[in-house]
Chain A
């Protein structure tokens, strides 16, 4: 008989007595004998714990608890607070994400956003100034082939030729 066989019958050993053939082995085998003694120790320890009189609730435990619960339900708990704040944070993030997506998908110009006609005019004027006077020493000059920005094109005449 192998020692493993005894240990596999642990449930029988734990809850009752081992069959005679196992007992003979236990008597002869010091390792299994120690195993059986350990088992008895542990089982006895559990029995002692089980018989211990458990702690009883102190007088008025339930009443005090109910009072505490009604006070707690009057004031929202920390978790409720975080739940509420968390929910608002999620909504705000969703709105911001939607706005960011809209901004990315809309065309860069147009009535909603982008440069208006007035902005274009100012930009063009600034560009022409920079071209004519890159170092700022001379006065304002027209670029050689700058087209007028608005109004009819100047009439080309042969006067003085």
Chain B
């Protein structure tokens, strides 16, 4: 507990020095939070080749904006907010693809995949099936409205609690619950419509 208190005090020191324009003091902050930022960026954009560049831009943005950090939320949450917004600025220029590997599977393979997905997908599904399933979710996320995507990524991929999501997105926890329910429902509805559109396309 004492150690944790000392760590918090140390972090506050670094932030205050960074607020004075000391870029050296920003280094330990980058080191402390880089893994969290990389993970969040990866889950938001789901493209390995873009992660490091985006993370770099996020930290530069954070350094430039660090004077506006007022210690109201944790530094990690404040950084997550910058990362989320930055990734969505990036994703806004990407158009959702209409093609998913899932629709190119035969009907029997689709049914097999559905049956295997019921439990422990990482153990039951082979590498190809896992790729198909991940691609399907990736495309569904890209088709989803921006607010739905943010909340689904934070909850389903980053495993944030409702309270953490509320703080990151500046929402009330009850609003987060309602939006999460709506986002899941909308995603399933979209899959149903997409399935209708692709009926007959399956091999």
* Interface positions of A (Cβ within 8 A of B): 7, 10-11, 14, 34-35, 37-52, 54-58, 61-63, 65-66, 68-70, 72-73, 77
Partner pick for A69 among B55, B60, B114, B187, CB 8 A cutoff: B60
CB–CB A47/B122 < 8 A: yes
The distance in angstroms between the C-alpha atoms of A40 and B191, with both chains bound, is 12
CB–CB B60/A55 < 8 A: no
CB–CB A56/B35 < 8 A: yes
Partner pick for B113 among A41, A47, A51, A77, CB 8 A cutoff: A41
Q: Give the Cβ gap from A148 to chain B, nearest Cβ, in Å.
A: 76
> Max chain B CB contacts within 10 Å: which of A38, A40, A50?
A38
Tell me the interface secondary structure of chain B in the complex: helix
Interface set, chain B 1-48, CB cutoff 8 A to A: 21, 23-24, 26-28, 30-31, 34-35, 38-39, 41-43, 46, 48
Query: What are some 26 contacts across the A-B interface (CB < 8 A)?
Result: A7-B185, A10-B181, A10-B184, A37-B114, A38-B192, A42-B140, A42-B187, A42-B188, A44-B121, A45-B117, A47-B121, A48-B134, A50-B156, A54-B38, A54-B42, A55-B41, A55-B51, A56-B38, A57-B34, A58-B52, A62-B27, A62-B30, A65-B27, A65-B56, A70-B24, A72-B60
CB–CB A48/B133 < 8 A: yes
Partner pick for A57 among B38, B136, B157, CB 8 A cutoff: B38
Q: Give the Cβ gap from B28 to chain A, nearest Cβ, in Å.
A: 8
> Max chain A CB contacts within 10 Å: which of B30, B46, B195?
B30
B59 — which chain A residues lie within 8 A by C-beta? 65
Q: A55-B38, A62-B30 are in contact. Are A48 and B51 (CB under 8 A)?
A: no
CB–CB B27/A66 < 8 A: yes
In the complex, which residue of chain B has the Cβ closest to the Cβ of A7? B185
The distance in angstroms between the C-alpha atoms of A51 and B24, with both chains bound, is 34
